[in-house]
Amino acid sequence: DPARHCRKYDSNRHDENNTCKMRLMFCQTASYLLRDWDALISQINEWVSPAWRKQLYPLVHETDRVLAEFLRGQVAVIILMSGFYVTGLWMIGLEFALPIGLLAGILVFVPYLGAIVGLALATFAAVMQFQEWSGVMAVWAVFGVGQLLESILITPWLVGERIGLHPVVVIFALLAFGQLFGFIGILLALPISAVMLVWLRHLHKQYLDTRQS
């Protein structure tokens, strides 16, 4: 039906236009924030009363420190997983082990995306190169072990300890946020949990100080 195809085409164009607009708005907002960051912070300082600054500023600095540690931990995970995937694919004899392994490692910053993209590319390369199921199964084994290590051991260890979360809490946070909010929840689970932990510690300290006084 030509009319249906036209409507579908118009709908796809509308979605693409909305996506482009959102990206442009994000880039524009980020550029304004980077340009006027010092002025914005000065304005916020004027809004906050001196009585609140003594309690609020240490909390903000601690939150900033935890988020910075989260990013450093993610960089460490990317480096380690890139090395793992490159080495694993090279050991099974895949010709494109280096680019596929690096891409899969870099994309682990987005949960499951690195494994999915890397597995798809490596499977296609293995089918074209080996032309038998043994090579494909070896690729699947590399990514299966990599995904298992990254989700159960490496991320809880390298990211969780940096931001002050126990590895069990990291796994629970990923599962809980993923169940409640889907893919976005998995992506934001650890930084949100870390910030919540900072604020809970602050509230607990305030409560203890109030009881002692």
pLDDT digit string (tens) for 146-184?
988 888 888 878 877 777 777 777 778 777 887 887 767
Query: Tell me, what's the pLDDT at 26?
Result: 59
Query: Tell me, what's the pLDDT at 140?
Result: 92
Query: Tell me, what's the pLDDT at 10?
Result: 53
Query: Tell me, what's the pLDDT at 213?
Result: 62
Looking at the whole model, is its pTM more than 0.85? no
Residue 109: CB atoms within 10 A of its CB come to 15
Backbone angles phi and psi of 105, in degrees to 5: -70, -40
DSSP 152-182: IIIHIIIIITTTT--HHHHHHHHHHHHHHHH
Three-state secondary structure call for residue 49: coil
- With the C-alpha atoms ordered 139, 143, 146, 148, is the resulting torsion angle positive or negative? negative
Q: What are the tens digits of pLDDT across the range 105-114?
A: 998 877 777 8
Of residues 60 and 33, which shows the higher confidence score?
A: 60
Domains of the chain, residue spans = 1-47, 51-212
Query: Tell me, what's the pLDDT at 188?
Result: 77
Q: Which of 68-77, 128-137, 196-205 has the lowest mean pLDDT?
A: 196-205
Q: Which of 12-21, 110-119, 180-189 has the lowest mean pLDDT?
A: 12-21
Query: Tell me, what's the pLDDT at 88?
Result: 93
Query: Tell me, what's the pLDDT at 79?
Result: 93
The average pLDDT across 109-126 equals: 86
pLDDT above 90 (res 192): no
The packing angle between helices 50-91 and 113-130, to 10°, is 10
Query: Tell me, what's the pLDDT at 81?
Result: 92
pLDDT above 80 (res 117): yes
